Homo-oligomer: A and B are copies of this chain.
Amino acid sequence: MDDDTTEVVAGNGLLDRRLFLRGGLAGGTVLLTAKAGGVEREDWMKAPGAPMDEIGEPSPHESHVKRTSVRSSPGTTGTGVSFTPHEHLDGIITPSRLHFERHHSGVPDIDPGRHRLIIHGLVERPLSFDLNALGRYPTVSGINFLECSGNSGAALAPNPVQAPLSAVHGLVAGSEWGGVPLSILLDEVGVKAEAKWIIADGADSPMMSRSVPLDKAMDDALVALYQNGERLRPSNGYPMRLFLPGWEGNMSVKWLRTIKVTDQPAMTKDETSKYSDLQKDGSAKLFSFPMGVKSVITSPSHGLTLGPAGIYQISGIAWSGAGKIARVEISVDGGSSWADAALDQHVLSKSLTRFRSAWRWNGAKSIIMSRATDEQGSVQPSREQLLTNRSPGFFYHYNGIQAWQVAENGEVTNVYV
């Protein structure tokens, strides 16, 4: 490649994002000259391959790509988490089999023929819907992220966690969600004038329950039946879940069973003792629903080792509960200078957005970071800004900037700057 064609736009070798748009960048020094006169055929070209099959599984060579840090609270088997391995993924869609989990008492084994959704409370006509009934209503689909409000809480640890990025930021994923707009079902039951909230319960054994303002329920809420084209999988709410685009994950109640229309929130366990935000004066802020603007570099990240000095792609994901991502900036000199990343073509509202930059790494120790801005003008804060502005005891809604350090030997570690 001809380095003279690349334009440095920020300190320490960050290259112009337009290189991604016009294809004017070459990749580096690891290329090999082809043998003249042809190439030997590998073994797999010398005999017919495997037959077609009813299900197309991943390659056995990719068996390391699975949810990470699967764990449950002491004395339980289903009260815990598993994380999406973004360090191995690309694009804006997360395969359903790798979508993170956060369950409060495991995954119920639901018979879809017996499951019902009940809508009752301050309504004219309380109704019960089975899957067949829901299947006759208008359906819509759209691509959105889903993020647990506890995602990235590990970034609050006093020392940087040295683990793959998914162990810190793996409670977010992107999917196409399809289902019946909740507004249609609420119109069907006839919401009374004094109604202001809905209370959604799951069919898991703890009946995980959250209060949702009626305005959101009537806006873009779905009773989701499909994820990435197929029926929801059990670990994401089969046969149906609430889905609230852009809002903290556990409000999108899985295994949705009842919706009660009320004039006030229910003040359930999971919106009072948990999923609330401790303030500096010791009070707890309830109902902080939308997820803040955020980004993280997925490659390179902890555990992915760079080869020799040369040009590398920096890639990651950005998202905001307030709408579209407007820009993502990259620094490769620890925040001294920044330049815009290129965004992949589909920049969708309340969706993961994929960003990329090209970096000519000179082999010296470097700190790389990303900073997202959404279409409302909100800018992702630094970790320090976040800690300064919140109570020391806060946990949810961490959206600070993630920094990775690249050592001289190419090893990538988690650092605080």
Contact = CB atoms under 8 A, between A and B. Distances in A.
A91 B178 contact: yes
B45 A101 contact: no
Contact of A114 (B42, B109, B188, B236): B42
Contacts of A47: 205
A313 interface: yes
Interface in A132-187: 132-143, 174, 176, 178, 181, 183-184, 187
Contacts of A128: 31-35, 39
Nearest 8 CB-CB pairs, A to B? A49-B106, A44-B108, A54-B66, A27-B137, A91-B141, A34-B126, A56-B235, A52-B82
7 contacts: A1-B188, A32-B116, A32-B129, A50-B234, A51-B78, A62-B230, A89-B226
Contacts of A313: 135-139
Interface stretch (A269-277, A325-333, A344-352, A396-404): A344-352
Interface in A240-259: 258
Interface stretch (A16-24, A288-296, A386-394): A16-24
A200 interface: no
Nearest to A202: B45
A36 B34 CA distance: 76
Interface stretch (A92-100, A279-287, A375-383, A409-417): A92-100
Contacts of A141: 90-92, 344-346, 354
Residue of A105, A140, A143, A358 with most chain B CB atoms under a 10 A cut-off: A140
A61 to B, nearest CB: 5
A193 interface: no
Contacts of A109: 44, 49-50
A53, A61, A62, A136: residue with the most chain B Cβ atoms closer than 10 Å: A136
Which of A57, A112, A139 has its CB near the most chain B CB atoms (within 10 A)? A139
Interface string A112-134: 10111011100001111110111
Nearest to A226: B90
A80 interface: yes
A294 B416 CA distance: 53
Contacts of A111: 42, 44, 61
Contact of A45 (B80, B89, B108, B344): B108
A70 B52 CA distance: 6
Interface of A: 1, 19-20, 23-28, 30-36, 39, 42, 44-59, 61-62, 65-67, 70-72, 76-82, 88-99, 101, 103, 105-112, 114-116, 118-120, 125-130, 132-143, 174, 176, 178, 181, 183-184, 187-188, 203-205, 207, 225-226, 228-231, 233-236, 238-239, 258, 307, 310-313, 315, 344-346, 348, 354, 356, 358
* Oligomeric state, in copies: 2
Given A28-B136, A51-B80, A93-B228, 6 more contacts: A32-B127, A46-B205, A50-B234, A51-B107, A58-B231, A142-B346
A47 to B, nearest CB: 6
A32 B125 CA distance: 10
A52 B32 contact: no
Given A58-B231, A59-B234, A132 B307 contact: yes
A31 B133 contact: yes
Contacts of A137: 25-27, 313
Contacts of A132: 30, 307
Q: Which of A45, A94, A205 has most B Cβ within 10 Å?
A: A45
A91 B238 contact: no
Contacts of A98: 55-56, 229-230
